[in-house]
């Protein structure tokens, strides 16, 4: 009979030995995740409770209320999906898109392409309009496309993490109402860090993530839909083709019935409650202002160093800055140098911008003057 011996190290099946985990200390100034707030880490490290424990049921309602506040919405169906931002993105599509629905995506970066790919998997008639990576759409361009394709949905990324562009939102919701289409908005890199008014902007469905502006680890994908979107869900002829993300099932757990759906990641919900609470404690407007001021300082400092920024200042995203890599510098080697020798992570370019830009994130807890000074000093002292 096999016996096991208690030992300070563990023998794996491969024969390797494992010491207890130690994680290197990193300052995460890339496209996300950002560092978690210490108070969020404290919330995460509590013992779990049962997912139907009255304490947890109360906490779920608090998380929903806090999410509504941070998103500036009164949507009844507002909840964090168990999964990352992509799970919440998929939830917006899975719940309301039916085969053959025309799904228009205004693509100006990597995550617009992901929306188009996902919608095609749900058998939508996907149509796209494209913009150079680093630009935003005008209202006129969006209206022309809506008139041309007569879509049931217009999907847009508010804060394009791959390019550092913030899409101006004025008038888009009205346009969608006028042409009877539902507006889906990706707020993954905007929630909790830049102005976001879901109801005023007439956004019908939106989603986000836990690991950027909320300063929580990755693992939850906030999701919300309004009554117009609910009506589309209720009128479906078939079942939502994704069991895990089906809001009508999930709402039996998150709504008043409290019926088990899946075992909730309770500790992640402890964490996001604390993260959202911290934002409201600071004040939503104060949080947005902090992000803007720190971004301005970063932008000015980078330009003072002779670097150029990829996105024009009027549509530049405070949470994510794309910096053009000078022709004499190996961008990847420089990022690796910062990580290996200074413990600082910045991102490289994605897709069309691969090898052309660095991506510097100042999100949530990480948006502070100390971090701005640190990254500027590193660019000053370490760039060849
Ligand atoms: N949308 C945008 C704008 C993103 O930046 C990301 C991830 O960075 C996603 C969607 C996907 O989120 P996740 O990686 O959490 O699944």
- Divide the 384 residues of the chain into consecutive groups of 10 and give the mean pLDDT of each group: 46 80 97 98 98 97 98 98 98 98 98 98 98 98 98 98 98 98 98 98 98 98 98 97 97 93 97 98 98 98 98 98 97 98 97 96 98 98 94
CA distance 332 to 302: 18
pLDDT, residue 12, reads: 67
209 lines ligand 1 (CB under 6 A): yes
CA distance 111 to 377: 31
92 lines ligand 1 (CB under 6 A): no
Q: With b meaning 16 or more CB within 10 Å and e meaning fewer, what string describes 319-345?
A: bbbbbbbeeeeebeebbeebbeebebb
189 lines ligand 1 (CB under 6 A): yes
Nearest to 111 by CA among 50, 58, 184: 184
Give the H/E segment covering residue 157: strand 153-157
Q: Which numbered atom of ligand 1 lies nearest the CA of 109? A: 3
Q: Which residues pair with 216 in a beta bridge?
A: none
83 lines ligand 1 (CB under 6 A): no
pLDDT, residue 289, reads: 98
How far apart are the CA of 8 and the centre of ligand 1, in A? 39
Half-sphere exposure of 60 (CA within 13 A, CB side): 26
Judge whether 359 is annotated as a binding position.
yes
pLDDT, residue 258, reads: 94
Give tens-digit pLDDT for 178-187: 999 999 999 9
Question: Mean pLDDT for the chain?
Answer: 96
- From atom 5 of ligand 1, which residue's Cα is the shortest distance away? 161
How far apart are the CA of 232 and the centre of ligand 1, in A? 25
pLDDT, residue 325, reads: 98
- From atom 15 of ligand 1, which residue's Cα is the shortest distance away? 85
pLDDT, residue 11, reads: 63
Tokens matching residue 328 = 């004499």
pLDDT, residue 9, reads: 57
157 lines ligand 1 (CB under 6 A): yes
Contact 110, 351 (CB under 8 A): yes
Q: Which numbered atom of ligand 1 lies nearest the CA of 211? A: 15
CA distance 377 to 307: 13
How does DSSP classify residue 310?
S
Pocket test for ligand 1, best of 33, 83, 85 (most atoms within 8 A of CB): 85
How far apart are the CA of 59 and the centre of ligand 1, in A? 26
CA distance 110 to 131: 11
Q: Which numbered atom of ligand 1 lies nearest the CA of 209? A: 15
């Amino acid at each position: 009979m096999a016996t096991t011996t208690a030992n300070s190290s563990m023998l794996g099946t491969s024969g390797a030995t494992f010491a207890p985990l130690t994680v290197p200390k990193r300052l995460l100034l890339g496209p996300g995740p950002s560092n978690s707030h210490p108070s969020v880490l404290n919330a995460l490290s509590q013992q779990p409770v049962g997912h139907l424990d009255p304490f947890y049921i109360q906490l779920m309602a608090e998380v929903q209320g806090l999410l509504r506040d941070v998103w500036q919405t009164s949507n009844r169906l507002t909840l964090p999906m168990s999964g990352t931002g992509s799970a919440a993105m998929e939830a917006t599509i899975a719940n309301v898109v039916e085969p053959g629905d025309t799904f228009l995506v205004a693509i100006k970066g990597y995550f617009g392409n992901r929306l188009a790919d996902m919608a095609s998997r749900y058998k939508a008639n996907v149509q796209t309009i494209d913009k150079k990576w680093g630009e935003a759409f005008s209202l006129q361009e969006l209206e022309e496309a809506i008139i041309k394709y007569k879509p049931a949905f217009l999907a847009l990324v508010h804060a394009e993490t791959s390019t550092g562009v913030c899409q101006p939102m004025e008038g888009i919701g009205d346009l969608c109402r006028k042409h009877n289409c539902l507006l889906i908005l990706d707020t993954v890199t905007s929630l909790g860090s830049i102005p976001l008014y879901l109801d005023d902007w007439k956004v019908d469905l939106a989603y986000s993530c836990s690991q950027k502006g909320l300063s929580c680890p990755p693992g939850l994908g906030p999701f919300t839909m309004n009554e117009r979107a609910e009506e589309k869900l209720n009128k479906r002829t078939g079942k939502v083709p994704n069991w895990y993300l089906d809001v009508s099932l999930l709402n039996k757990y998150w709504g008043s019935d409290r019926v088990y759906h899946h075992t909730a990641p309770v500790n992640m919900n402890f964490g996001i409650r604390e993260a959202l609470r911290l934002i409201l404690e600071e004040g939503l407007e104060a949080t947005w202002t902090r992000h803007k001021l720190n971004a301005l300082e970063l932008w000015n400092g980078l330009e003072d160093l002779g670097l150029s920024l990829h996105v024009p200042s009027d549509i530049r995203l405070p949470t994510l800055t794309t910096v053009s890599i000078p022709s004499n510098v190996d961008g990847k080697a420089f990022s690796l140098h910062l990580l290996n020798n200074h413990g600082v992570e910045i991102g490289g370019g994605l897709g069309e911008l691969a090898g052309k830009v660095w991506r510097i994130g100042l999100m949530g807890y990480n948006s502070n003057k100390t971090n701005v000074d640190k990254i500027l000093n590193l660019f000053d002292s370490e760039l060849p």
